[in-house]
Amino acid sequence: MDELALFSIGHSNVPVGQLIERLRRHDIAVVCDVRSKPYSRYSPQFNREAVAESLEAAGFTYRYFGDALGGLGGEPAPGFARGIEQLVALGEQNRVAFMCAEADYHGCHRQRLITPALIERGVSVWHIMGDGSLERGAIAPEQMRLF
């Protein structure tokens, strides 16, 4: 059985076409938006409705997960575990990338919250970098749970 893999991507402030190119390079079919507040006056092309329209016009499926998997609000919300399970289930059927605004995943909740939760469930995570290359997600020592 092949290992289940999910992808992580940060849109930054690039033209939406560059985001689409990186997604296509890795055969992504579904983009799950994990931003708590999916709006920006600096990058309006990534406002929730605009990016959904652009991605769907390019042949991707857009799903909003920011209510469950968004990074704002301190401790993960009660729906976080349910959101992770939904993300995994979607990944079992499609090639999925979860998207936030941060270009560098190291300081983003994609790395701090979502990646460890996925790895603990046996899912591999691959971060799509700005140049299109991949970096394998890992749990940092400070993220290890003490039992």
| 91-109 pLDDT per residue, tens | 999 999 999 999 999 989 9
5 pLDDT above the threshold of 70: yes
> Per residue in 46-63, is it b (16+ CB within 10 Å) or e — as a string?
beeeebbebbeeeebebb
Q: Tell me, what's the pLDDT at 78?
A: 80
- Percent above pLDDT 70 for the chain: 90
Q: Looking at domain 5-143, does it have CATH number 3.40.1010?
A: yes
| 43-91 pLDDT per residue, tens | 999 999 999 999 999 999 999 999 999 987 555 568 899 999 999 999 9
113 pLDDT above the threshold of 50: yes
Q: Tell me, what's the pLDDT at 1?
A: 41
| 27-44 pLDDT per residue, tens | 999 999 999 999 988 999
Give residue 147's pLDDT band: very low, low, confident or very high (50, 70, 90): very low
